Amino acid sequence: MRKDGVFIAVDVDDAVVADSALAAKLVEVCPVDIYALAQGPPATLDIVEANLDECVLCRLCLDAAPPGTIKVLKLYDSESVLV
């Protein structure tokens, strides 16, 4: 699932979207509420488009998920990926 703001896009692997426990963890770690739980059951991950540009590039979501399963893209910088 990918959603785009004006400056930031977030791309999350389908396996992460479908993982309720991981989804809950992402909701917890993101300081600006970019992640939310979609209506279940089972609960899945949603990306809150309206909050995407609030991303502070803190990497907490990257650390919470298996490597490479979440990409934070800087649309203002040729879609460079936050690593």
Strands 2-4 and 8-12: antiparallel
**Residue 18 contacts ligand SF4 per CB under 6 A:** no
d(CA 79, CA 82): 9
Task: By CB under 6 A, name the one of 16, 22, 34, 45 that touches ligand SF4.
Answer: 34
Q: What is the footprint of ligand SF4 within residues 38-67 (CB under 6 A)?
A: 55-61
Cβ pair 46, 37 in contact under 8 A: yes
Question: How many Cβ atoms sit within 10 Å of the Cβ of residue 47?
Answer: 21
Closer Cβ to ligand SF4, 14 or 63, answer by number: 63
Number of residues near ligand SF4 (by CB under 6 A): 14
Contacts to ligand SF4 by CB under 6 A: 10, 29-32, 34, 55-61, 72
